[in-house]
Structure 1
Amino acid sequence: MTTVLLADDQALIRAGFRALLDAEEDLEVVGEASTGQTALAQARALRPDVVLMDIRMPDGDGIEAATALLADPGLTATKVIMLTTFELDDYILDSVRAGASGFLVKDTEPEELLRAVRAVARGDALLSPSVTRRLLARLAAARPAAPRPAADIQALTGREREVLALVGRGLNNAGIAARLFITPLTAKTHVSRIMGKLDARDRSQLVVLAYESGIVTAGSAQDDGPGR
């Protein structure tokens, strides 16, 4: 059973999400919060598998709450999905950098919401790699971050740097395997090792790190077609 905490200042949004999630046999809403501080307190008390966190809330917004939550050593197993009204919200990149697994717009289709919660609970990427790539390329180009410390990247082997570059360009494990002439299982192993070395929670963070390290640039990300 995957447990979910809903954090949104609109009661109607929370009620709709609860009805949808609780109707599924493998999903259970264990709590609700209407402010950032309440969301953080609820997460610490309930330790849910997934938190659906609104970006804009009173008393500590969703970014602040997610940053504190994901830095809490007692909540390392909890994943966060940020909720936003606008697909290109300026705060999305900050959310992923803080450790959130990605984002959803609030008017997303019910099937997409369910798929996203299950995917994040499994530790998979929330968005399709191509969508993540295009979004973060635009945001990174608009607001570049400080470069990732070289020591972090130097911990990677040559092959791992190749794999990180392909993750940053939006390829999934099968696409990476085809590009490097390895098996999908080997590609998955490389990705897992990279996540461990760079202290990344999921592939969404690896995409950000690929840009921040300079391994992938917004221009080079356009070289690969979507959905590979």
Structure 2
Amino acid sequence: MDAGAEEMSLVGDGRASPLRIALVESLPLLRHGVQTVVSAHPALEWVDAVSSTRDTVELCESARPDVVLLTSASDPGWNRCQLLTRLFKDLAVVALLGREARTPDSIAMARINGARALVPLDADPERLVQAITAGATVGHHIDPALAVFATSVEGARTGGGRSLSRREFEVLQLIAEGRTAVQIALRLQITAETARTHVSHILRKLDARDRAHAVARAYELSFLPK
């Protein structure tokens, strides 16, 4: 078996076919650059590039890419990321961060909204491929250049040294929006009882008296963007 074939066999939990990659971006030069990197790698297969949310959803429904690359400029609030990960459970979203998005708040929001991997937009091709494959197979990757900004996401800890899980971050964000346990359950597709359990865990870990106090503590600890 040659090196390229062996590499493909290791991608996607033993799958023999390459990972199918799509991009959400409107700038032609950037689209061409990403397509060139993806097409040149034997373990990856280029699908297409789109720019609108509607076109992205339609592409995911018709072409079924394994990975969608989202640039921070195309999804500044990471709402598309959230939508895609909820509609397509097996889809891996990889976030490409411009300089404006390399902040703890932006990285935290990208992770909370479902991005499996994060990489600088100006990373070299090897690091982009690493982020794509790790996001699709391992389900978690943050480029070393972004690690310094990611303290509020990866192993973020309360004053008592207790970390919040990714699901607890999601629930915390919804608490900050004023959602009830039932609304949180519907949003995250879990039971109301499970939502209440997450809220209880968050209150305990943040040493908070109630939900309002938990939100205040979260802002104090930079767990939520201000």
Secondary structure in structure 2 of the residue aligned to 1:3: strand
1:151 aligned onto 2:197: yes
Secondary structure in structure 1 of the residue aligned to 2:78: helix
> Equivalents in 2 of 1:96, 1:13: separation in Å?
23
1:98 aligned onto 2:113: yes
| Shift, 1:10, TM fit | 0.9
> Equivalents in 2 of 1:9, 1:89: separation in Å?
26
Alignment identity in percent? 21
Q: Are the equivalent residues in 2 in contact too, given 1:37–1:65 (CA < 8 A)?
A: no
Secondary structure in structure 2 of the residue aligned to 1:137: coil
Which protein has the larger Cα radius of gyration, Structure 1 or Structure 2?
2
Question: Which of 118, 126, 129 pairs up with 2:133?
Answer: 118
Q: Are the structure 2 counterparts of residues 76 and 107 from structure 1 closer, same or farther at C-alpha, using a change threshold of 3 Å?
A: same
Secondary structure in structure 2 of the residue aligned to 1:151: helix
Q: Are the structure 2 counterparts of residues 115 and 99 from structure 1 closer, same or farther at C-alpha, using a change threshold of 3 Å?
A: same
Q: Deviations over 1:178-202 (max 9, x none)?
A: xxxxxxxxxxxxxxxxxxxxxxxxx
Q: Which consecutive aligned stretches of 4+ in structure 1 deviate over 3 angstroms post-superposition?
A: 128-134, 138-141, 144-150, 152-155
Q: Are the equivalent residues in 2 in contact too, given 1:36–1:62 (CA < 8 A)?
A: no
Instruction: Please name the residue that 2:98 is paired with.
Output: 85
> Equivalents in 1 of 2:131, 2:145: separation in Å?
15
Q: Are the structure 2 counterparts of residues 5 and 78 from structure 1 closer, same or farther at C-alpha, using a change threshold of 3 Å?
A: same
> Equivalents in 2 of 1:103, 1:92: separation in Å?
8
Question: Which of 57, 72, 76 pairs up with 2:89?
Answer: 76
Q: Which runs of 5+ in 1 are unaligned?
A: 156-160, 162-211, 220-228
Instruction: Please name the residue that 1:9 is paired with.
Output: 26
> Equivalents in 1 of 2:54, 2:107: separation in Å?
19
| Shift, 1:34, TM fit | 1.9
> Equivalents in 2 of 1:30, 1:134: separation in Å?
31
**Looking at both structures, which has the greater relative contact order when contacts are Cα pairs under 8 Å and sequence separation is at least 6?**
1
Q: Which runs of 5+ in 2 are unaligned?
A: 1-17, 158-171, 177-183, 185-194, 206-214
Q: Are the equivalent residues in 1 in contact too, given 2:70–2:95 (CA < 8 A)?
A: yes
